[in-house]
Amino acid sequence: AEDGYDLWLRYKPLPEAMRGEPRIVGQPPASGSPTLSLAYGELRRGLDGLNPDEPGLDAPSIRLVTPSQSDTIAAFKLSMEGLGGEGYLIRTVQGGRLTVIAANTDVGVLYGVFHYLRLMQTGASVERLDVRSAPKVRYRLLNHWDNLDRSVERGYSGQSIWDWWRLPDVKDPRYADYARANASIGINGAVLNNVNAKSDSLTAPYIAKAAALADTFRPYGIKVYLSARFSSPIEIGGLKTADPLDPAVRAFWKTKADEIYKAIPDFGGFLVKANSEGQPGPQDYGRTHADGANMLAQAVGPHGGIVMWRAFVYSHEQPDDRAKQGYSEFKPFDGEFAENVIVQVKNGAIDFQPREPFHPLFGAMPKTNLGMEFQITKEYLGFSTHLAYLGPMWEEVLKADTFSAGRGSTVARVVDGKLHGYSRTLMAGVANIGTDRNWSGSQFDQANWYAFGRLAWDPEASAEAIARDWAAMTFTPDKRFTGPAAAMMMGSREAVVDYMTPMGLHHLMGRSHHYGPGPWVAGGERADWTSVYYHKADKAGIGFDRTAKGSDAVGQYAPLAAATFSDLSKIDEKDLLWFHHLSWDYRTRSGRPLWDELVSRYSRGVRRVGEMRATWTSLAPYVDPERHGEVATYLAIQRREAQWWRDASVAYFQSINGLPLPKGEAPPP
């Protein structure tokens, strides 16, 4: 059935005109590694699927090459320099008769095979190739917020795919399918369990389960990591404290790390959420984030492991603007984190909103390895029922200029380590994977998993090119399909911004579930968990003043960035109400008063979803009925709920400002 299980690796026969000459593939060397046999197997599978024609005896061939075949490398003068441990080259030689896919390691060859097949899948010519590619980011990780009871925090695609109960004995074939899909986009690590972690995950039975997964993932170049609960020494170590400077606590973590590495020799390391949203952490003992992170780093360091320490911290006891708290807590410790620590920073300062300006920590910690955390699962963008391709959102953040070392100091260059010369680089994505047959909850949410991997490999890649590749691989390379489909995808996130939170508004989603509109929610025990905290609407105006006159969150950015955000004549209106509180009749660039502009954007969002539906209907001839129908049903839900968002938000703001609807705008029912 066309249920989406095959993701972007369907390998259906290409249209005749795109097939080219069939190719001969050699046999894997008898002494080859499991990874190398996977590479050969994948190539065979891809070629057989995409081009079922029989190759003739003198057909062109493909050869996979590692440094052990030094004669081939010498014969074709292949330069392996700069490919590192994961890069590859693909080159056609012998007047087109032979294509070599070469790398310094077997996993590099596997990546090269996937690249070669991608070219075929997208209808590109493979007659004359000269490709070189190496990842710009070293740790390209999925973060699973999967609990040990198989529920998934913020997961919208079924249960966790980790069947903890049956592990380690039963290895669901799905684990290998998962690893293969990740390898196809260059993901090389997975944090198995939720950052809101349970100490149980570090006990012997769970270490054995993690080890079983690691064994399955290893040939695909994927390492296993675990989220660690900071208070584990108390809960599973029998200690009275988890103080990171206490010798017994340090000994606990060292012994624990040794135990894990015995079971998983290539264990990647720990991810930690500490002193955030009620999680335990070093501050419980008057210690710092650096004290906590460095203690763990010392435990895994001798084994080659790392610690990813999250900067997503805020507390309602802290009266300061929530957007400022991460920076305030981390910036003072720049230079104090161990070399094998990476501080993991969300793309924006609040929380995975449909749009946020880049996090002010990027560019502000030149002496601390900083990594990016994106959220693939769409907690704030309509879960898996709304179609929102996140490529443009991530691209927008990565391309943003921090100005921290002059013009061109983009977030991408912070994350790939070039700007500050980081020793370790990281891009993490909170996974959207679950037990649903289509893995991600919807067909189009697969594109977000896919795009994350591609951007982690190359943070400067184009979201649009990635969308085209994905659409071609997942449906058909026919340009009459990929053009409109990619255009629909590219506009989809902006539509969500429009109907949910236009012009810099944020966090107006229904309380705790974060699905539908909830700009009105007031009261409750925590000021920062209510929407009014964020929009600050009253009779006179709307928006959060983060300029020097307000919370001065702008002061956390480099002067040039701060000056742009602060200046009403310079700021991009997409961020307007994130930084400014303005009167309802403030004149926007369209010439319309703010209120009219806001309403027009809400309505535009709804209209755009209508256009997406029309586009999708017109693409029916190119898509199997099963997946076409499923997407169409989801789009109908989205259209209805976009209207709900627009109507509820407009009606709510009217109840505050008492203003009539702008001319031509339909009233909420």
Which residues belong to the active site?
A: 277, 351, 379
557 near ligand GCW, rule: CB under 6 A: no
3-class SS at 18? helix
Q: Please state the closest distance from residue 402 (CB atom) to ligand GCW, in A.
A: 22
195 near ligand GCW, rule: CB under 6 A: yes
From candidates 8, 40, 139, 312, binder to ligand GCW by CB under 6 A:
312
What character string, x for contact with ligand GCW (CB under 6 A) and - otherwise, covers 325-364?
--------------------------xx------------
Please report which helix (H) or strand (E) contains residue 258, including its range: helix 247-263
Q: Please state the closest distance from residue 645 (CB atom) to ligand GCW, in A.
A: 19
* Residue labelled with tokens 């590099």: 108
507 near ligand GCW, rule: CB under 6 A: no
Q: Distances from the Cα of 106 to the Cαs of 170, 177, 397, in angstroms?
A: 27, 19, 33
379 near ligand GCW, rule: CB under 6 A: yes
From candidates 91, 144, 154, 613, binder to ligand GCW by CB under 6 A:
154
506 near ligand GCW, rule: CB under 6 A: no
The tokens for 312 are 């997503």
b/e for 542-578, b at 16 or more Cβ within 10 A? bbbbbbeebbbbbebbbeebbebbbeeeebebbbbbb
Helices (H), 33-76: 34-50, 70-75
The residue (of 145 and 616) whose beta carbon lies closer to ligand GCW is 145
From candidates 196, 203, 298, 328, binder to ligand GCW by CB under 6 A:
196
Amino acid at 42: E
Using DSSP bridges, classify how beta strands 98-102 and 61-65 pair: parallel, antiparallel or unpaired.
Answer: parallel
42 near ligand GCW, rule: CB under 6 A: no
Give, as ranges, the residues between 272 and 311 that touch ligand GCW (CB under 6 A): 273, 277
315 near ligand GCW, rule: CB under 6 A: no
The residue (of 32 and 371) whose beta carbon lies closer to ligand GCW is 371
Under 8 Å between Cβ of 272 and 262: no
The residue (of 242 and 381) whose beta carbon lies closer to ligand GCW is 381
Amino acid at 36: L
Rounded Cα–Cα distance for residues 366 and 634 (Å): 44
Q: Which of 226, 249, 225 is nearest to 237 (CA)?
A: 249
Neighbours of 69 (CB within 10 A): 16
395 near ligand GCW, rule: CB under 6 A: no
Q: Please state the closest distance from residue 512 (CB atom) to ligand GCW, in A.
A: 8
Cα three-residue angle 312-299-160, rounded to 5 degrees: 50
From candidates 48, 153, 334, 464, binder to ligand GCW by CB under 6 A:
153
**CA trace torsion 263, 279, 156, 492 (10° rounding):** -110
Q: Please state the closest distance from residue 380 (CB atom) to ligand GCW, in A.
A: 8
The tokens for 384 are 């898996």
**Residue 56 burial by Cβ neighbours in a 10 Å radius (0-12, 13-18, 19+):** exposed
Contacts with ligand GCW by CB under 6 A: the residue count is 11
23 near ligand GCW, rule: CB under 6 A: no
The residue (of 328 and 654) whose beta carbon lies closer to ligand GCW is 328
Cα three-residue angle 308-310-314, rounded to 5 degrees: 170
Rounded Cα–Cα distance for residues 478 and 471 (Å): 10
The residue (of 289 and 454) whose beta carbon lies closer to ligand GCW is 289
The residue (of 277 and 626) whose beta carbon lies closer to ligand GCW is 277
Q: Please state the closest distance from residue 393 (CB atom) to ligand GCW, in A.
A: 15
The residue (of 277 and 460) whose beta carbon lies closer to ligand GCW is 277
Radius of gyration in angstroms for the set of CA atoms belonging to the chain, rounded to a whole number: 26
198 near ligand GCW, rule: CB under 6 A: no
146 near ligand GCW, rule: CB under 6 A: no
Q: Please state the closest distance from residue 377 (CB atom) to ligand GCW, in A.
A: 10
243 near ligand GCW, rule: CB under 6 A: no
From candidates 8, 40, 145, 544, binder to ligand GCW by CB under 6 A:
145
Q: Please state the closest distance from residue 526 (CB atom) to ligand GCW, in A.
A: 13
641 near ligand GCW, rule: CB under 6 A: no
Under 8 Å between Cβ of 642 and 625: no
List, in sequence order, every residue forming a beta bridge with 372; answer none if it has no partner: 345, 427
Q: Please state the closest distance from residue 296 (CB atom) to ligand GCW, in A.
A: 18
Q: Please state the closest distance from residue 196 (CB atom) to ligand GCW, in A.
A: 5
Q: Distances from the Cα of 37 to the Cαs of 6, 34, 97, in angstroms?
A: 20, 5, 23
Tell me which DSSP letter residue 427 carries. E
Q: Which residue is nearest to ligand GCW (CB)?
A: 351
Under 8 Å between Cβ of 373 and 428: yes
Q: Could you list the residues that contact ligand GCW (CB under 6 A)?
A: 145, 153-154, 195-196, 273, 277, 312, 351-352, 379
